[in-house]
């Protein structure tokens, strides 16, 4: 039961998971085709690891089929039938694996997880926080009033100056912070 340079075993059971007996001729055929099944699995998947589970399922399936049609154990070898069942199960397993789309490492996944709009909003919030921390007390108040919906003329009235003075002082300080 060797498979290339590594030894893999499949659980040769006398009963299937439902408790039905597995035919001895099918189990023997499984042992005889085991190395070939490992080679097929390694060729198709690059790893022979799944071969054991696939063989267990195939042996149980072929045994149930032969019992259902009433075939006797002396009616001939079961190698071909078992290999067909194994290869069919292997192709199904490979198709299931191929349905998964790998997106890459954690760095690539993080980039895909956040859309550009959310990233821009997040960066804008960080920039705003940085600006607010550097603003003078007066211009911080101007920013808060503007964020609350006050118009420039209302802000100027609260500070007792002209609109041009409040606006120019505010934007000059913003420009200094940006540089």
CA 143 – CA 155 distance, rounded (Å): 10
Number of domains into which the chain is organized: 2
Q: Clarify whether residues 30 and 87 are in a common domain.
A: yes
Q: Clarify whether residues 26 and 62 are in a common domain.
A: yes
Q: Clarify whether residues 126 and 43 are in a common domain.
A: no
Are 62 and 28 in contact, with CB atoms under 8 Å apart?
Answer: no
Among candidate residues 48, 71, 98, the one where a domain is terminated: 98
pLDDT value, residue 7:
55
Q: Clarify whether residues 87 and 113 are in a common domain.
A: no
The reported pTM is 0.52
Q: Clarify whether residues 9 and 86 are in a common domain.
A: yes
pLDDT value, residue 97:
84
pLDDT value, residue 1:
44
Q: Clarify whether residues 41 and 69 are in a common domain.
A: yes
Q: Clarify whether residues 41 and 79 are in a common domain.
A: yes
pLDDT value, residue 89:
93
Q: Clarify whether residues 94 and 6 are in a common domain.
A: yes
- The residues near 165 (Cβ < 8 Å, ≥ 6 apart) are 156
**Residues in the chain where the model's pLDDT stays below 50:** 1-4
Among candidate residues 43, 66, 98, the one where a domain is terminated: 98
pLDDT value, residue 151:
92
Among candidate residues 71, 98, 125, the one where a domain is terminated: 98
pLDDT value, residue 110:
65
pLDDT value, residue 83:
92
Please give the residue range of the domain that contains residue 29: 2-98
């Amino acid at each position: 039961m060797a498979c290339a340079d590594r030894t893999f075993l499949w659980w040769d059971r006398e009963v299937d998971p439902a408790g039905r007996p597995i035919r001895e001729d099918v189990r023997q055929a499984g042992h005889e085709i085991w190395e070939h099944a490992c080679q097929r699995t390694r060729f198709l998947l690059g790893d022979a690891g799944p071969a054991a589970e696939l063989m267990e399922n195939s042996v149980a399936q072929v045994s149930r089929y032969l019992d259902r049609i009433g075939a006797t154990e002396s009616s001939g070898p079961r190698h071909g039938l078992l290999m067909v069942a194994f290869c069919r199960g292997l192709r199904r397993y490979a198709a299931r694996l191929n349905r998964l789309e790998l997106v890459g490492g954690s760095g690539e996944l993080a980039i895909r997880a956040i859309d550009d709009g959310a990233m821009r909003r997040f960066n804008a919030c960080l920039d705003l926080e940085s600006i607010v921390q550097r603003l003078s007390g007066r211009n911080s108040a101007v920013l808060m009033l503007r964020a609350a919906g006050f118009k420039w003329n209302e802000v100027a009235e609260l500070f007792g100056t002209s609109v041009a003075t409040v606006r120019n002082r505010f934007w000059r300080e913003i420009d200094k912070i940006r540089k």
